[in-house]
Amino acid sequence: MSSTVVYNAVLCDAGGKRRGWLAADGGRITAVGDGNVTDEMLVSAAEAVDARGAFLIPGLTDTHVHFRDPGLTHKATMESESRAAAAGAVTTVFDMPNTVPPVTTVEVLEAKRRLVESKNVSCRIIPLLGMAPGAMEQLKKLDFAGVPAVKLFLGTTTGAMSAPPDDELEDVFRFLSDHGIPVIVHAEDNDVIARNMEAALARWGSVEAIPVAEHCRIRSHEACLRSAAHAIELATRFGTRLHLAHVSTAAEVRELLSDGPAKGKLITAETTPLYLDPVLCNEISRNCRHKVNPAIKTPEDAEALREALFTGRIDTIGTDHAPHLLAEKERPGMTAMSGAPSIQFALPLMLTYLPMEKIIEKMTCGPAEVFGIGVTTSLEPGAVADFAVVREVSAYTLTDADAVSLCGWTPFAGRTLRHRVERTWCGGVAVWPGQ
């Protein structure tokens, strides 16, 4: 007997597309077949779901989220944002350390893990340790079992987590190299940003008066390129596995990254749907909702990033899901908070300009190869029962009312989409029933 059978589906995974069915029980996929399912299997199933020709895909892995819990729960909670993840077909996430308190010690990391276990969440949440002054002391105490990566902010972020000083930073890279642990780096050069902000203030008079459209010139191409190059130099010098987070520029892709599969690379990279989207990467479309760090750049950058997905210079897609209240986003000028809740609609949005196979590659196979995590990449017997039904539907216009995130809005409001995540299972448990 199988607890769940999904049939009449187009299975799409690392192996390609085929029409067929899937059975799951006890948290694992137990059987997969081409064509039609047998009547006996349907009768014996506790739950039989007719996909009616929709996609059946592995649950996606988002290695870059900010669920804001603990300490910033007026914006989001683990329960609310994991449900938003499930609504976006995401079943595993890496939660970043810039919470309150920041996750910069082993003790706080363990406390956050216990917090995750105490919550009724809808996806797997893997908290990451952040690198701050005193990082070496913490790394020496860390049990690396179950630690896929650590996070380093070479640039300002929510929570103002500062990087270790230069001499300790070298020790961090050397230590991580010795232990084979990747470091995920937010790469923006604070000196360049400060210089650009000074010029903007000289022109506009106050932080409040600087138009949000200036954000991409303050947090500029140069700021990204210079910081990314610095991180790569450190990684190359010490042989440290480096994953560049949210790459936003053509220059980073073309000057710093290499083609090919993620497996075996020393330097890998992530981008986000916000930087890939040809509509958002348009000067006139920018508003406070699209203010993120690094800043969204130009259509030319977006085109280069999409191309890099196919050449292998970009290895993963993460959403950088970062909820803020609209009141925090709608502050004047540069006082508006940076970040946007992206996880729920990332998949339907990307399906307007990328094939499903490429998205699955970058959000299942890519994370598995870069971080060595045992997520489901292929729908096959024995794999963890993480999967989702995604249906092509009549065109609809997205509104804030569709958002599951506690913050209650989406940066993609007003966009016309043609896919919906209908059902999601995590470990064989239905976590998103659809709307």
By C-alpha distance, which of 314, 340, 316 is closest to 400?
A: 340
Q: How confident is the model at residue 12 (pLDDT cuts 50, 70, 90)?
A: very high
pLDDT digits (tens, 9 = 90+) for 275-286: 999 888 875 556
Let me know: does 377 contact 367? Beta carbons within 8 Å. Answer: no
Which residues face 125 on adjacent strands? 93
Q: HSE-up of 220 (CA within 13 Å, CB side)? A: 15
First to last CA, the chain: 29
pLDDT digits (tens, 9 = 90+) for 191-220: 999 999 999 999 999 999 999 999 999 999
Position 157 scores a pLDDT of 55
pTM for the complete prediction? 0.96
Q: Determine the pLDDT at residue 281.
A: 81
Residue 159 has a pLDDT of 54
Task: Give tens-digit pLDDT for 174-197.
Answer: 999 999 999 999 999 999 999 999
Q: For residue 426, which amino acid is it?
A: C
Give buried/exposed letters for 213-243 (b at 16+ CB in 10 A, else e): ebbbebbbbbbbbbbbbbbbebbeebebbbb
pLDDT at 132 over 70: yes
When pLDDT is averaged across residues 227-248 and rounded to a whole number, the result is: 98
As a whole number of angstroms, the distance between CA 19 and CA 9 comes to 6
Over residues 158-167, the pLDDT tens digits come to: 555 788 998 9
Spatial strand order in the sheet of 60-65: 60-65, 90-95, 124-127
Enter the tokens of residue 53: 């020709």
Averaged pLDDT for residues 388-410: 98
User: Among all chains, which residue has been given the structure tokens 């683990």?
Assistant: 78
Report yes or no: 102 and 108 within 8 Å, Cβ to Cβ: yes
Over the stretch 14-70, which tens digit does the pLDDT of each residue have? 899 999 999 999 999 999 999 999 999 999 999 999 999 999 999 999 999 999 999
Q: What is the pLDDT of residue 383?
A: 97
**Of all helices (H) and strands (E), which one includes residue 18?**
strand 16-25
The per-residue pLDDT for range 78-130, each reduced to its tens digit, is 999 999 999 999 999 999 999 999 999 999 999 999 999 999 999 999 999 99
Q: Answer yes or no: is pLDDT of 316 > 80.
A: yes
The predicted structure's pLDDT at residue 287: 83
Percent of the chain residues topping a pLDDT of 70: 97
How are beta strands 55-58 and 150-154 bridged, if at all?
unpaired
The rounded distance, in Å, linking the Cα atoms of 119 and 23 is: 28
The pLDDT of residue 280: 86
What does the pLDDT read at residue 263?
Answer: 87
pLDDT digits (tens, 9 = 90+) for 337-392: 999 999 999 999 999 999 999 999 999 999 999 999 999 999 999 999 999 999 99
What per-residue confidence (pLDDT) applies to 282? 74
pLDDT higher than 80, residue 434: no
Confidence of residue 155 (pLDDT cuts 50, 70, 90): low
Which tens digits make up the pLDDT trace of 289-309?
Answer: 999 999 999 999 999 999 999
Residue 409 to residue 321: CA distance in whole angstroms: 12
Q: Which residues contact 248 (CB under 8 A, 6 or more apart)?
A: 224, 271, 275, 294, 295, 296, 297, 301, 305
As given in the structure block, the two tokens for residue 215 are 């954000």
Torsion sign across C-alpha atoms 402, 403, 407, 410: negative
pLDDT for 98: 94
All domains of the chain, ordered by start, with CATH? 4-56+380-394+413-432 (2.30.40.10), 60-371 (3.20.20.140)
**CA nearest 176: which of 128, 230, 235?**
235
